[in-house]
Amino acid sequence: MSAAIELDGVSARHGAATVLHDVTIAVPLHRITAVTGHNGSGKSTLLGVLAGVHPPASGSLRRSHSGRAAFVVQRSEAADALPITVRQTVAMGRWAHRGPWRRLTRDDRSIVDHCMDRLGVADLAARRLGTLSGGQRQRVLLAQGLAQQSDLLILDEPSTGLDAAAKDAITAVLAEERARGTTIVHATHDPADAAEADHH
């Protein structure tokens, strides 16, 4: 099986502490991979390395795709104080293609609308991000990730603390993305979430 990303002997630090030690893994192409472990075990740091936003301290990283990964952070990391709407948040996913200062095209707006529809947040488009429930916010952040149209989607605990309906909605969208050929990596400490992945 081909690998989307390969790490060989990778270590990474968070501040002064080394949180990843000599990690060697291969993330399969076009599959869903679950990264498991308890809180503080380095899952978020590993995802940051895979996404290319956290440089490794040592070791090597190889990717089969040349584009940018769509990295969806935990909902708690999305600042409440930012006065932005749901539509603006999802539209930020188009920055990977257009940059932050260029106006969205008709196609960009159509993609944003489609991603909001897929995650069931279109009716929240004018709401401020900071006013949403945890489940709503997580679906908005995933819609932002999908709007990037990347073939590598990396998610930091996308279903933690969500109700069953929100979890099911996210699981269904990830299955659709996998069927389209997207490589997906997500962190979880839920054994049921991990069991649904192709690889962990």
Q: What was the pLDDT predicted at 143? A: 95
Instruction: With CA atoms as reference, report the closest residue to 84 among 166, 123, 140, 139.
Output: 140
Classified as helix, coil or strand, 110 is: helix
- Beta-strand runs (E) in 37-182: 58-63, 70-72, 152-156
Look at 194 and 148; give whichever has higher pLDDT: 148
Q: What was the pLDDT predicted at 73? A: 84
Instruction: With CA atoms as reference, report the closest residue to 144 among 184, 101, 194, 96.
Output: 96
17-28 and 32-36: which strand pairing? unpaired
Instruction: With CA atoms as reference, report the closest residue to 141 among 74, 188, 187, 44.
Output: 74
What is the C-alpha to C-alpha distance for residues 34 and 18, in angstroms, rounded to an integer? 22
Q: What was the pLDDT predicted at 97? A: 79
23 forms bridges with which residues in the sheet?
Answer: 10
pLDDT one-digit tens code per residue, 108-139 = 999 999 999 999 999 999 999 889 888 888 89
What is the C-alpha to C-alpha distance for residues 141 and 162, in angstroms, rounded to an integer? 14
- Is residue 88 very low, low, confident or very high in pLDDT (cuts 50, 70, 90)? very high
What is the C-alpha to C-alpha distance for residues 8 and 11, in angstroms, rounded to an integer? 9
* Amino acid in the structure at residue 39: N
Q: What was the pLDDT predicted at 78? A: 56
Is the sign of the CA dihedral 184, 185, 188, 190 positive or negative? positive
- Is residue 11 very low, low, confident or very high in pLDDT (cuts 50, 70, 90)? very high
Q: What was the pLDDT predicted at 23? A: 94
